[in-house]
Chain A
Amino acid sequence: MKIAIASGKGGTGKTTVAVNLYYFLSKNLNGNVQLIDCDVEEPNDLLFFPGSVKTDGLEIYNFVPEIDTEKCTFCRKCTDWCEFNAITLVKNLGFAEVSHDLCHSCGACSTACEFDAITEHPQSLGTISEYEVGFGKRVTEGRLRIGSSMQTALIKEVKKATAGNADITIFDAPPGTSCPVVETVSDADYVILVTEPTPFGLYDLKLTVDLIEELNISFGVVVNKAGLGDRKVYDFLESKQIELIGDIPFSKEYASQYSKGELIRNIQDEQAKAYLPVVNKVLNIIQKQ
């Protein structure tokens, strides 16, 4: 069973919800829960588990082509096949190079080359690390190498590496509605969309709802920082008959606790109460499965 936490707008509270859900579900399900941080550009989940212990880590590579100018005949078949304009060939200068920024590692050029001039070499995309955090199975983090633009490929690897590690998997998605988000949520059984009751929150929620409906995944919405902004997000949910599964009130004290990374250390009654409907909703879905 897979649950993804997503939000079009950044900073609405995806990580807060994911970390809290991991905590409460661990208590409810004898710890058979794992949390996967798929926001590989800016992974934050681990910041909220002080004292966590790293138990495993690996570097992830993709393969980027290199052209051997000794063997290359400058026939240009590779450039014809490359859909991403990543290959520059200058016959007169004997120059043949692949731009690593543009290359998608699709393998078309090395398949195209009839002269065995193209070989592929590993380039780091980032790392995948596993942590014991004191409850639940484990927390796994994908971390993009700074400068790499291959975030979607890394998310794919993170999901592959963690598949089947626990009965319940929670995916914390990156912000937005484009391909890294699709990669994270595409095979989820249920998506929790986190929003805030502001015009930015509502506009980006609408974009995300369009996406999740197109992917045909069932979902519910958590309104975080409730009390700020206006009521329009609730009107939208009502008019679209979208289930509001949680309403987490804004409190400056809570925001300050978050800012220190102390989400889990001293759970307040108020916080536990606010998360109860969300946790029950998920437990309900699990039971039905």
Chain B
Amino acid sequence: MKEITILSGKGGAGKTSVTAALAALSKNTVFCDNDVDAADLHLILQPEIKEKHPFSSGSKSTIDQEICTNCGLCESSCRFHAIHPNSEGYPEVNHFQCEGCRLCERICPAEAISTHENFNNHWFVSTTRFGQMVHAKMGPGEENSGKLVSRIREKTREIAGEIQADYILNDGPPGIGCSAISSITGTDAVLLVIEPSISGLHDAKRLVELVKGFGIDMYAVINKYDINLTASSAVETFLEKQDIEVLGRIPFDTRMVESMVNEKSVIEFDRASSVSRELENTWTRLKTCL
């Protein structure tokens, strides 16, 4: 079984559209949407939810104003500057800023602070027309520490083991921070989706450096290849220097957007299109590389 994570650094490069296309082409595969912050893969895969599990969105501290003596120790000790005086001059915890470290609770001489765990995040096991899928939905503004990503990947591997799947496809998050790191750790290969623009290349370079640090194999597809051929050749030069093979060059085609509007992968929407053919070649080459 091989696990592949699709990443781009830059958002909107086409990770989810590429993942959906590969999902339509793959067989005996389990899918996992690692972009728990703004998950979109379900819009194409239309999962039927079989299991729903709450997941901790972290702990938040609260100060009991009746007990608080307003000594100021919590406010000055909070490293996250999450405690501010309210309109009555008493300290109050801003729950969006609180990281739940409980330092304030432990040091409060009046024992006025308590901490509660919240479960505003959920993850799901679902079936789709292409196979099983594990995905999640975060509460708005919750911390995306990567723990939720690690949890759903663990579940995906469990399912893949049970059904003896050949592949896992992880639709990754944008960026290179904690959730991207969690989607890279322990995967067999990273498929980079790169848009030929100065920002697409800039962001891909940072991502490549991050993935290299993990020693994981990388392959690339250049999406909207023909939108700027100069930028595309700059991307190719960079990838060649990094010894990263380009498996596909996908032309710009509004059918990619139209298929999304129709809740279909581009493969299902128009299999004969050059976009679909290039994606088919990408998947065939990727399987050989693994």
Contacts and interface: CB of A to CB of B under 8 A. Distances in A.
Nearest to B8: A10
A247 interface: no
B141 A44 contact: no
A252 interface: yes
B254 to A, nearest CB: 7
A175 B144 contact: no
B89 to A, nearest CB: 20
Contact of B96 (A104, A149, A182): A182
Interface string B98-124: 011111001100000000000000000
Given A149-B177, A177-B138, A200-B260, A259 B200 contact: yes
B210 A211 contact: no
B38 interface: yes
Contacts of B192: none
Interface residues of A, number: 60
A147 B144 CA distance: 16
A180 B177 contact: yes
A39 B77 CA distance: 28
A104 B11 CA distance: 26
Interface stretch (A105-113, A266-274, A279-287): A105-113
Contacts of A11: 10-13, 174, 195
Interface string B112-151: 0000000000000000000000000010111111100000
Nearest to B15: A10
Secondary structure class of chain B's binding surface, majority of residues: loop
A261 B234 CA distance: 14
Given A47-B202, A260-B230, A179 B101 contact: no
Interface stretch (A23-31, A52-60, A68-76, A202-210): A202-210
A106 B140 contact: no
B253 to A, nearest CB: 11
Nearest to A210: B140
A107 B78 CA distance: 8
A83 B100 contact: yes
Nearest to A262: B198
Q: Which of A8, A186, A210, A256 has the most CB of B within 10 A?
A: A256
Contact of A178 (B40, B144, B198, B199): B144
B71 interface: no
B140 A10 contact: no
Interface in A82-105: 83-84, 101, 104-105
B37 interface: yes
A32 interface: no
Interface string B27-43: 00000000001101001
Interface string A31-70: 0000000010110100100000000000000000000000
Contact of B140 (A101, A174, A214, A230): A214
Contacts of A204: 38, 40
A34 to B, nearest CB: 21
A111 B73 CA distance: 13
B62 interface: no
A214 B174 CA distance: 24
Given A9-B11, A81-B102, A261 B43 contact: no
A197 to B, nearest CB: 9
A260 B231 contact: yes
Q: Which of A101, A148, A175 has the most CB of B within 10 A?
A: A175
Contact of A42 (B106, B174, B261): B174
Interface in A135-182: 144, 146-149, 151, 156, 174-182
A284 to B, nearest CB: 28
A187 B159 CA distance: 43
Given A198-B261, A259-B200, A178 B12 contact: no
Contact of A259 (B142, B143, B145, B197): B197
Contact of A146 (B96, B144, B176): B176
Given A12-B11, A107-B103, A252-B252, 11 more contacts: A81-B106, A101-B181, A106-B101, A106-B103, A108-B103, A111-B107, A146-B213, A179-B142, A182-B96, A182-B141, A199-B263
Interface of A: 8-12, 15, 39, 41-42, 44, 47, 81, 83-84, 101, 104-108, 111-112, 144, 146-149, 151, 156, 174-183, 186, 198-200, 203-204, 207, 210-211, 214-215, 228-230, 252, 255-256, 258-261
15 contacts: A10-B12, A42-B9, A42-B10, A42-B175, A81-B106, A106-B103, A151-B178, A178-B138, A178-B144, A179-B143, A198-B257, A200-B40, A207-B38, A211-B141, A259-B228
Q: Which 4 A-B pairs have the closest CB atoms?
A: A10-B11, A11-B12, A259-B197, A106-B101
Interface of B: 9-13, 16, 37-38, 40, 43, 59, 77, 79-81, 96-97, 99-103, 106-107, 138, 140-146, 173-178, 180-181, 195-200, 202-203, 206, 209-210, 213, 224, 227-228, 230-231, 252, 254, 257, 260-261, 263
